[in-house]
Amino acid sequence: MSVERSTAGSRPVQPTSRTRGDADWVLVGDIGGTHARFALSDARAPRPALAHAAQLVNADHPSLEAAIAHYLGGVPERPTRASLAVACPAGEDTVRLTNRAWAFSRSGLRDALGLRELRVINDFGALAWAIPALAEDDRVHLSGPVADPLRAPVSVVGPGTGLGVGLLVGTAAGGWEVIETEGGHGAFAPLDAEEEALLRWFTGRHGRVSNERLLCGEGLACIDAALRGEPAGPDARLRAPGEVVRLAVAGTDTAARRALSRFCAVLGSVAGDIALVQGARCVTLAGGMLPRFLPFLRESAFGERFRAKGRFTGYMDAMSVQLVVHPWPGLVGAAMAMEAVSAAPD
């Protein structure tokens, strides 16, 4: 699989090989709360092959249309089709991102960009679509048996700006089908005294506390603040999530290490619960946060909490957990989703 990697800033990366003149280019996008990632995918290639991949900072652009226009202004090809993965429900014509003040009309965006076809899917639906296309070295084993990660059903879970949840299931014809969900918004269930204290802190800040409130970048910053004794209100001094991760991994800050340890433990419990609810046979973790502290995650209580399901502990012991380390899985998934629609019978 050919993948172009981005460098710092918002400029698109140029491909390392020449563009084929007979390619059928599709614009693919992975639109999160913080970043928007784009690439071109050749629909005629047997597997998704990305060119001109780039990551833009959402805050630098007033709208998704503006971000796409910026990206297309830096590439020579002009795609007439697009597949966009968005961090929110994607079933209606009007799409509103959950963690970014961007909204758009599917039909309006399609017409504004001069596209003949625009497909919009949930971001973790896209990550689920990507899994069958990933190479062996695009994922690493975390816990459980070292087994084929495509043993369906596959729960796809991952923290980033929010907490995404998707499901990959097999079809009778031997293919794949993706079920998009908003499972990250299930209610947080504390399991010990410290988590009960966190629930009270987060309730004071948000009211209802979903798993996403803890298992995202801001959630990690809030866990850190709560454990440092900061108030739950708007005056709480939050450290940047990246700083909390850096200090925790370096081992130079006890509070940061305690916060990241708790984050990993809660993630294990939630991922295990999601696997049970979805009837999964294996779990794939994804998203931008986890690869940044993979050794820490492996050494944390994640695996223990994932398996700790009372009478179903043995069932969880037999479940493989993998982490996606491919740099652009959402873009691969958006391309796969477009191909799935194009190949579907009328």
- As annotated, the binding site includes 29-34
What sections of the chain are H helices per DSSP? Answer: 64-72, 106-112, 123-130, 193-206, 211-214, 217-227, 241-250, 254-278, 294-299, 302-307, 313-317, 329-343
What sections of 207-312 are H helices per DSSP? Answer: 211-214, 217-227, 241-250, 254-278, 294-299, 302-307
Binding residues for ATP: 29-34
Distances (CA, A) of 346 to 11, 202, 342: 39, 48, 10
* CB-based contacts of 308, cutoff 8 Å, min separation 6: 269, 272, 316
Tokens representing 125 are 């639906």
Helix (H, G, I), strand (E, B) or coil at 117: strand
Q: Is the dihedral of CA 330, 335, 340, 346 positive or negative?
A: positive
Half-sphere exposure in the Cβ direction for 235 (13 Å, CA): 3
At CA 11, angle to CA 44 and CA 241, rounded to 5?
105
Q: Is the dihedral of CA 267, 270, 274, 275 positive or negative?
A: positive
Give the single-character DSSP code of 290. G
Tokens representing 19 are 């563009």
**How many other C-beta atoms lie within 10 A of the C-beta of residue 203?**
14
Q: Cβ distance 41 to 84 under 8 Å? A: no
- Separation between Cα atoms, residue 338 and residue 332, nearest integer Å: 10
- Separation between Cα atoms, residue 27 and residue 25, nearest integer Å: 7
- Separation between Cα atoms, residue 19 and residue 23, nearest integer Å: 8
